[in-house]
Amino acid sequence: MSLYLSVVEGAYLRDLLAQPQAVADTVAGLRSLPPLPGRAEACHRIVLTGIGSSLHALYPLQLRLVRAGHTAHMVETGELVHSQSALLDGRTLLVAVSQSGRSVEMVQLLDLITTLPSRPFVVGVTNTADSPLALQADALVPLRAGPEFSVSCKTYLATLVALDWLGGALCGDDLPGILQELDQAAPIMEDYLVRWRTHVAQLTGQFTRLRHLFLLGRGASLATAGTGALILKESTRMHAEGMSSPAFRHGPLEMVGLGFFAIVFSGAPATAALNETLVRDIRAAGGCAALVGADSDLSPFRLPAAPTRLLPVLEMLPVQMVSLALAAIAGREPGRFERATKITVVA
């Protein structure tokens, strides 16, 4: 155990262990936010934009808005600026998510908005109170995750809970009830993370011969699959791919074999059986697969009982433990960038 502890104990791990407090602080801050202006609720279309984990975090919100009857487009910020800017006009509600609030694509988007004949109503979601996004947004949903070393962890989970609250505000749901359920996230996360040493020790034995790693899910779990693959590449330099469970059957299934591992998110009850079948099929084909959910046969992937709205938050915790295990196997400090930077300034 001391072998991996000496490698993974650093700034990234400290950020992981600080996540319950970051989420609790963000939820507490949501209680003091004013109602959204009437113009936001009267918009004819909603455009959701971000890049990297900020974009993935928007997917559960898009699903919720569509179910409520809204026309909601989810567009990567760079594509919105250069290829889909026709979506932006005075009838548009733009939900812009950027943890720094000053990444190059977000600044370009804010500059573009100033040139439009009619400006969309902008709701900014950011962790940086003095950023261009925070200062130029018509309504601000602030994160209170605190400083972050490198890979998005505290800020990603804080974004998920902030967007869940925002979805309730846009759909006219019971906001006090939503906040009461979001309050449950921090203690559940704390209970899981206090056992991080045990989780990592168990996972290091699962990935010693790893060649191909896939993260697969459906519905809101696609946010976890996308962000999970991204943070594994960032934090460990191990290639990982996130995609939908049905898309995996359309070709990538041929990759199953020695050195293959799939992390499959059980997800919502309506499609959980389909994901459980995929785990069995991958194992039958000669690959390794593990389910993330309440019924997982691998304890680091077993999620506690919690309100459904917390599932995207809790699903990320096992992926973070995988990042520590892979870094330990490689003998590399997780989360320390060599080429990337925390804020991307080149388009």
Domain boundaries, the chain: 16-183, 187-330
Tell me the CATH number of domain 187-330, given options 1.10.10.10, 2.60.90.10, 3.40.50.1100, 3.40.50.10490. 3.40.50.10490
Q: What are the tens digits of pLDDT across the range 243-257?
A: 999 999 999 999 999
Closest CA to 99 of 77, 79, 121, 73: 77
Report the predicted TM-score, pTM, of the whole model to 2 decimal places: 0.95
3-state secondary structure of 46: strand
Give the H/E segment covering residue 317. Answer: helix 311-330
Q: What are the tens digits of pLDDT across the range 62-104?
A: 999 999 999 999 999 999 999 999 999 999 999 999 999 999 9
Fold entry, domain 16-183: Rossmann fold (3.40.50)
User: What's the helix, strand, coil split of the chain in %, to 5?
Assistant: 50, 15, 35
Instruction: Answer whether 149's CB lies under 8 Å from 335's CB.
Output: yes
For 143, how many CA atoms within 13 A lie in the half-sphere containing its CB? Answer: 34
pLDDT of residue 39: 79
Q: How does DSSP classify residue 50?
A: E
Instruction: Answer whether 51's CB lies under 8 Å from 97's CB.
Output: no
Q: What are the tens digits of pLDDT across the range 141-175?
A: 999 999 999 899 999 999 999 999 999 999 999 99
Q: Which of 171-180, 311-320, 330-339 has the lowest mean pLDDT?
A: 330-339
Q: Do domains 16-183 and 187-330 have the same CATH topology?
A: yes
Decide if pLDDT at 1 tops 50: no
